[in-house]
Amino acid sequence: MVIDAPHRRLNPLTGEWVLVSAGRTDRPWLGSTETPARTERPDYDPRCYLCPGNTRAGGVVNPEYPTTFVFDNDFAALRPDVGHERFEEGLLRAESEAGVCRVLCYSPRHDLDLALMKPDGIRAVIDVWAAETSELANTYTWVQVFENRGAAMGASNPHPHGQIWAGAALPNEARTEDHHQRTHWAAHGSPLVLDYALQELGGERVVAASETWVGLVPFWAVWPFEMLVAPLRHVVSLPDLTDVERNGLAEILADVLGRYDRIFDHPFPYSMGWHGAPSPIADHPHWQLHAHFYPPMLRSATVRKHMVGYELLAEKQRDVTPESAAHRLRSL
């Protein structure tokens, strides 16, 4: 198959196809552009509601935290005090959803993104991801660790932070991935994502790899510089990572996030999140822990990929091949 010709690729994690139309980035662009956010930031901002010692919008004063800091979101999308109720009337159906939403400040520094942190600082964040996942999984089915970086991705505050949401139900994306990983496990007796990662090692879509981790642009990637990061051992959840694997993860995140920022010599916006086994963990041996990175920028720091038209009404489509995106990231 000639990959420069229009073709479709299957995502085995979701069962969805993506249309790959290489070369469309050469077309003239008169559409919308982003205005890159100001990149100069102080290490402390007295107006920032996430900086140490400052008052948040809800009136709570932050402690003078020296490292990572976690707190319950003052404007949470989920609440733990919601009772279980259901409504059904013909085709109309609804049910209540209990949960919690937490904010994780990566460090007291207002100007220190994950991409700029040393591996030991990133390691502290990883340990919090794991600890929060372990705690919340005792109560909730799904724990979603994620980050929206940059104003282009809707981040409400420039202070580097992520979020952790936990809920009683298994969300749509997780349910889809659970089904396809379970099916693969039943057929092959091995985890789908790990099998895929091992197949890709040494290949043209790998951006960075170590003895414990790989970061690559998936064969089925939708976003221009999308990446999948996964351990090279069967690991079902963040708390199960060994000390060596956590150090390895810190190093590979420092690597790939630094490459993102060098694509357009500008802080690269993205949404990222971890997918690990739902609770109870024992019922989901078919899972393999992995992280998705979805950056929207297409050809510069101002031109982004929009999911509109055909993508919304038919199927996802991308303008550059995953192989060319991985080559560009590798070369930085």
Cα(41)–Cα(158) distance, integer angstroms: 9
Distances (CA, A) of 146 to 88, 96, 114, 289, 313: 32, 23, 13, 14, 27
The DSSP code for 112 is: -
Give the residue among 294, 109, 325, 299 at the shortest CA–CA distance from 217. Answer: 325
Tokens of 277: 């086994």
Q: How far apart are the first and last CA of the chain?
A: 28
Cα(20)–Cα(316) distance, integer angstroms: 9
Tokens of 140: 């909730």
Torsional sign, CA 173, 289, 66, 269: negative
Whether 218 and 234 have beta carbons less than 8 Å apart is answered as no
Give the pairing type, strands 16-20 and 316-318.
Answer: parallel
Residue with tokens 């221009």: 224
Whether 101 and 143 have beta carbons less than 8 Å apart is answered as no
Is 161 catalytic? The answer is yes
Q: Where are the alpha helices (DSSP H) in the chain?
A: 119-136, 172-188, 192-200, 243-263, 310-313, 322-331
Torsional sign, CA 63, 69, 70, 74: positive
Instruction: Give the active site residue among 110, 159, 161, 275.
Output: 161
Catalytic residues: 161
